[in-house]
Structure 1
Amino acid sequence: MDDALARAGYRDVAPEEGGGAARGWWDANAEEYLAEHGDFLGPDDFVWCPEGLREQDAHLLGDVRGATVLEVGAGAAQCSRWLAAAGARAVATDVSGGMLAAGAAYDARRGSSTPMVQADARHLPFADTSFDVAFTAFGALPFVPDAGRVHAEVARVLRPGGRWVFAVTHPVRWAFPDDPGTGGLTAARSYFDRRPYVEEAADGRVLYAEYHRTLGDHVRELTGAGFVLDDLVEPPWPAGHERVWGGWGPVRGALLPGTAVFVTRRAG
């Protein structure tokens, strides 16, 4: 089959098509992604977002020493590697075998051994109440049509009171073109248009799908899964940070938020 990109745009697709595309896309693009961003992310650093907010400074997970921590949509498990050095018992999960293979290569070069499990975030292979903390930095949630199922699974595996922290593209960004320069400063579509961004092959197969949720959607999905929202962090663009990452960069970052980090805890 020819997986060359033929069409891209905002349109509705069947949930199973859109939700099933992430594994193949990340398998195919893991090497290119890490070649482009690996120096910024590092093999064992915990970077929340393109703005460069790091867990060592933000402490959004709290004190992780001795805690069991689940990383959802871990990519090459850079954050889990950092957490292990900080004293946590971290387990990294990702739907993409290609990204986890890259993580294994990092471990081989470093002489480390990071627990990694290939799993769909909507079907986590762990026992109930087995983790103290869970998090994801741009993993899983943007790539499924049913993010509520991810929240429900995380709630199931978290102990009562456990933190669930996740970073996503700031919802307001979806009203603007994905342009890091001045072309990305004029709204071009409705913030309330929830059709996903979809890339297709010539035969109509969905190669990539990314889903928009408003701030209200995120809150409703969280509370529906039994979480309490403690904080919403909107990292500002740091002075002197010149790196462009997709639609993120200093021009647009000076005026518009690029990332939203939800800090929540399981009720009860």
Structure 2
Amino acid sequence: MEIESAGDDAFDDDFDEMEGYADTGPGVTRRVVTAAENRHASRGWWDADADNYQAEHGGFLGEADFVWCPEGLREADAKLLGDVAGRRVLELGCGAAASARWLAGQGAHVVAMDLSAGMLRHARDAAKATGIEVPLVQADAAALPFAGAAFDIVCTAFGAVPFVEDSALVMREVHRVLKPGGRWVFSVTHPMRWIFLDDPTEGGLHAVHSYFDRRPYVEYDETGAATYVEHHRTMGDRLRELVGAGFTLVDLIEPEWPEGHEQIWGQWSPLRGRLFPGTAVFVSEKAAVLR
């Protein structure tokens, strides 16, 4: 299976234009990042972490299954995408593409896309293991390399949206590549989680950050350059991004922590999950008739 790369060299060219950083030592902060710095950090992080991520979470996600969130909500049960048989589907931020392979198994015509070559390497290996191959594309979610109205459905489970500096642009790009009447469904960390520490224990039950602080969470190296970037948007921000791009919100799912589910995934845990939501799943549609 070939992995197509869209504009890969441009990512490095943009990063080279960034201003230099003073030698500050590695650390964590909240600060503004440029789009180029963000892309470089995200690609580098997920390339380097791909093996560890798959080793830790691959069993939970499955080889050909669609799991929306750490709470374990599966598309097979939730049916948020509707009938996918015969539909053209794009999965953004696909990682190892387990969801794309599940969709292919349901009769969908799927393209799986990710910024990270490391994650797509796992997608390629899993395709060989399962015998379910889908086209893989390496590209930036803020500049989708597809023609307008190319897909019936676009989806992502915790991919792309929180890792892009201009997530409103991602919404507009998704709207562009969707056919009229197409559906856009994505899951992200629930916005209210940003007021707490990423701690699955009692220490993560105390509010310590402002809900309204939209500066991204940034991990940086000894030169001050970002190595990991994740963005917070309020619930209102997300709704305005969708509406501004031309979508209509169909549903907003806040999965409850299921009984008997004891697996801890980062900051997600039974303790926290029983008290407040950890995931928000936005279900939206493009107008069937464009005015």
Q: Which category of TM-score, normalised to the shorter sequence, fits these structures?
A: over 0.9
TM-score normalized with structure 1 length: 0.96
C-alpha separation in 1, matches of 2:91 and 2:28: 30
C-alpha separation in 2, matches of 1:57 and 1:213: 28
C-alpha separation in 2, matches of 1:195 and 1:258: 20
Query: Which whole-Å deviations, capped at 9, do the CAs of 1:70-98 have from their partners, x for residues lacking one?
Result: 10110011000000111111110001111
Q: Does 1:124 align with 2:144?
A: yes
Q: Does 1:86 align with 2:106?
A: yes
Within 5 A, what are the aligned runs for 1:130-145?
130-145=150-165
Matched residue, 1:220: 240
Say how many residue pairs are matched: 264
The Cα of 1:111 is off from its aligned counterpart by 2.3
Q: Does 1:97 align with 2:117?
A: yes
C-alpha separation in 1, matches of 2:155 and 2:207: 31
- Listed as ranges, the gaps of 5+ residues in structure 2 are 1-24
Within 5 A, what are the aligned runs for 1:146-161?
146-161=166-181
Query: Which whole-Å deviations, capped at 9, do the CAs of 1:220-239 have from their partners, x for residues lacking one?
Result: 11111110001000000001
Query: Which whole-Å deviations, capped at 9, do the CAs of 1:153-186 have from their partners, x for residues lacking one?
Result: 1101100110000000000000011111111111
The runs of at least 4 aligned residues of structure 1 exceeding 6 Å deviation read none
The Cα of 1:113 is off from its aligned counterpart by 1.6
C-alpha separation in 2, matches of 1:167 and 1:257: 12
The Cα of 1:18 is off from its aligned counterpart by 2.5
The Cα of 1:144 is off from its aligned counterpart by 1.0
Query: Which whole-Å deviations, capped at 9, do the CAs of 1:188-247 have from their partners, x for residues lacking one?
Result: 011001111100000111101000000010011111111000100000000110000010
Matched residue, 1:187: 207
Q: Does 1:167 align with 2:190?
A: no
Residue 182 of structure 2 aligns to a residue whose secondary structure is: strand
The Cα of 1:59 is off from its aligned counterpart by 0.1
C-alpha separation in 2, matches of 1:175 and 1:19: 25
- Listed as ranges, the gaps of 5+ residues in structure 1 are none
Matched residue, 1:211: 231
Identity of paired residues, percent? 59
Matched residue, 2:47: 27
The Cα of 1:112 is off from its aligned counterpart by 2.5
Q: Does 1:245 align with 2:265?
A: yes
Within 5 A, what are the aligned runs for 1:104-119?
104-119=124-139
TM-score normalized with structure 2 length: 0.89
Match of 2:78 among 58, 63, 84: 58
Match of 1:7 among 27, 31, 39: 27
CA RMSD of aligned residues (A): 1.0
